[in-house]
Chains A and B, each alone.
Chain A
Amino acid sequence: MNWNKIEEQFFKILTGVCTVGIMLVLVTILGVVIYRGLPAISWEMLTKTPEGGFYLGESGGIFNAIMGSIWLALGATLMAFLLSLPLALFMNIHMKRHPKRLTLLRLLLDVLWGIPSIVYGAFGFTLMMFLGLKASLLAGIITVGLLIMPVMTRAFDEVLRNIPTGLLEAAYSLGSTRAEVAFKVFCRQALPGFITAILLAFGRGIGDAASVLFTAGYTDNLPENLSDPTATLPLAIFFQLSSPVPQVQERAFAAAFVLTFIVLVVSVGGRLLIGGFKKFTL
């Protein structure tokens, strides 16, 4: 065996081991969540709010946290979307004239992306005080919305950047205005990538505990309007896992299972949706 072959074999094994290792971690996480969570799941768990003594192992469920998380993540994703789409379009259509400012803005967004979510939580809390809000669904939505906005904007931005200039020139040559290029051509070409970006942001938003700790609060009731505090699944996991009662700890895994399941359903649904649009793109 010559040296080249040994080298090739070595890297083949190295990359293989890394791949298998990562798969293993993923499978183990899912395995533990399913193994410990599934037995604790019951219809009551999914459809009832906590009753007295729930945190000591008595009856009730985490319906409050499930609905709270869904509302919060949907609201935050919507808010982030409303901010991110115009921003990403602005960056790729109008700001192309100013490459330096564009680089700076991208750097800023990357920094925002990297800020730990507990900092967003603290910021959200300050903002909440300033606006005179109490811990509520709205405050949670605003905080998580800000948290996932940079993720979504940069993901949108990357999608738009990869659109060929030729397509842009073609669209302008047909007499399109800037708005028509943005909404009729850019967005359509970018739709599959956009959906992926939204899912990514939704996934990060629904799973974050630190940012909602101060801002959304926690309650055993369902939120009835935006100014009610709300429970969330990550915090439900946190509180139950910190309990000394074994049944309650099992329920934490059940809550983790539910959270993972929601993200999975949303991702798979999104993929199916993308398939329908992708055939039209270049």
Chain B
Amino acid sequence: MPILKIQNLSLSSGKHEILKNINLEIPRNKVTVLIGPSGCGKTTLLKSLNRLIDLYPELKVSGKILFDGDEDILNTRRDLTQIRQKMGLLSQRPFPLPMSIYKNVTYGLRIQGVRNRKKLAEKVEQHLREVALWDEVKDRLHSPASRLSIGQQQRLCLARGLAVGPQIILADEPTSALDPISSRVIEEQFMKLKENYTIVVVTHSLRQAKMIADYVVFMYYGEIIEQANRDDFFNHPKTERLKIYLESGH
């Protein structure tokens, strides 16, 4: 059963339609990649999933997003914090919280009420290891997160999200600000993490999509043009638009 079921999702800002009648199923424990030209609504779609779109009140939303088959995420009476704790977000540029490395990882747990120091310390080590950052920072856990390199910051943000205990990881062009080596590390993490998590990635890099995707969705001006598993998607594109996009990309 898919973990997320998006039904007839439309989203507009004034007269501008950003998403037009989106229907999509996100498979569990797989990497789903959203590709398409800039401004086609990929990021907005991603942000609808954990209702970050609520921060932008000018947006009008209709449709349903079912989580685990029954709960509609877009139901305004639903507890937002609970939804968001089930989905970690990794943004284009890392935004570490203005505190130490250690406190960045424990932030999510502490707001959930976890106070046990031993447990927090265990979680910090576990999740920093999970993103291959532990060895680089274990001697300076209490120094400011802002002093890390941007690649390290992005991995810290991933660890911070994982510590909350999400089921889904949403990533919005997570490597676009990173150097190739840091990008590779993030991509490798995704490949490992999909055993335990469902991952949705927005990317502009076809190379990245080919490498990490199980399932690929092509969007164009607010619509889903084509979706298929990776091999079919790249080897047998059905629509003319996707063929052009794949030929022009890299």
Q: Interface on A for B, CB 8 Å cutoff?
A: 96-97, 164-177, 180, 184-185, 188-189, 279-282
B98 is contacted by which of A96, A169, A280 (Cβ under 8 Å)? A280
A173 touching B98, Cβ below 8 Å:
no
B144 touching A173, Cβ below 8 Å:
no
Known: A174-B84, A174-B107, A280-B146. 9 other contacts (CB 8 A): A96-B55, A166-B93, A167-B97, A172-B55, A172-B84, A173-B50, A175-B85, A180-B111, A189-B98
- What are 20 A-B pairs at a CB distance below 8 A? A96-B55, A96-B57, A166-B92, A168-B55, A169-B89, A170-B89, A170-B97, A170-B157, A173-B50, A173-B87, A173-B89, A173-B161, A174-B111, A174-B160, A175-B108, A184-B107, A185-B98, A188-B98, A189-B98, A280-B100
B89 touching A171, Cβ below 8 Å:
no
Scan residues 57-114 of chain B and give those whose CB is less than 8 A from a CB of chain A.
57, 81-82, 84-85, 87-89, 91-93, 95-100, 107-108, 111-112
Q: Which residues of B contact A165 (CB under 8 A)?
A: 55
Residue of A at shortest CB range from B163? A174
Residues A175 and B89 in contact in the complex (CB < 8 Å), given A170-B157, A188-B98: no
Scan residues 33-67 of chain B and give those whose CB is less than 8 A from a CB of chain A.
47, 50, 52, 55, 57
Residues A166 and B160 in contact in the complex (CB < 8 Å), given A173-B50, A176-B81, A280-B144: no
Q: Which residues of B contact A184 (CB under 8 A)?
A: 107, 111
Q: Check: B164 CB closer than 8 A to any chain A CB.
A: yes
Q: Check: B147 CB closer than 8 A to any chain A CB.
A: yes
B95 is contacted by which of A175, A180, A279, A282 (Cβ under 8 Å)? A282
Q: Which residues of A contact B108 (CB under 8 A)?
A: 174-175
Q: Which residues of B contact A177 (CB under 8 A)?
A: 81, 111
> Number of A-B pairs whose CB atoms are under 8 Å?
80
Query: How far is A170 from B95 in the complex, measured between Cα atoms in Å?
Result: 7
Chain B CB within 10 Å — which of A168, A170, A281 has the most? A170
Residue of B at shortest CB range from A174? B108
Residue of B at shortest CB range from A169? B52
Q: Which residues of B contact A180 (CB under 8 A)?
A: 111
A176 touching B111, Cβ below 8 Å:
yes
Q: Which residues of A contact B91 (CB under 8 A)?
A: 166, 169-170
A164 touching B98, Cβ below 8 Å:
no
Q: Which residues of B contact A176 (CB under 8 A)?
A: 81, 111
Q: Which residues of B contact A96 (CB under 8 A)?
A: 55, 57
Residues A279 and B146 in contact in the complex (CB < 8 Å), given A166-B95, A172-B55: yes
A188 touching B99, Cβ below 8 Å:
yes
Query: How far is A170 from B93 in the complex, measured between Cα atoms in Å?
Result: 11
Query: How far is A104 from B57 in the complex, measured between Cα atoms in Å?
Result: 19
Q: Which residues of B contact A168 (CB under 8 A)?
A: 55
Q: Which residues of A contact B157 (CB under 8 A)?
A: 170
Q: Which residues of A contact B144 (CB under 8 A)?
A: 279-280
Query: How far is A267 from B214 in the complex, measured between Cα atoms in Å?
Result: 58
Q: Which residues of B contact A169 (CB under 8 A)?
A: 47, 52, 55, 89, 91, 95
Would you give the shortest CB distance from B214 to chain A, in whole angstroms?
A: 23
**10 nearest A-B pairs in the assembled complex, by CB-CB distance:** A173-B89, A175-B85, A97-B57, A189-B98, A170-B95, A175-B81, A166-B95, A174-B108, A167-B95, A280-B144
Give 1 or 0 for each of B148-159: 1 = CB within 8 Å of chain A CB.
000000000100
Would you give the shortest CB distance from A69 to chain B, in whole angstroms?
A: 34
Would you give the shortest CB distance from B79 to chain A, in whole angstroms?
A: 10
Q: Which residues of A contact B93 (CB under 8 A)?
A: 166
Chain A CB within 10 Å — which of B91, B161, B164 has the most? B91
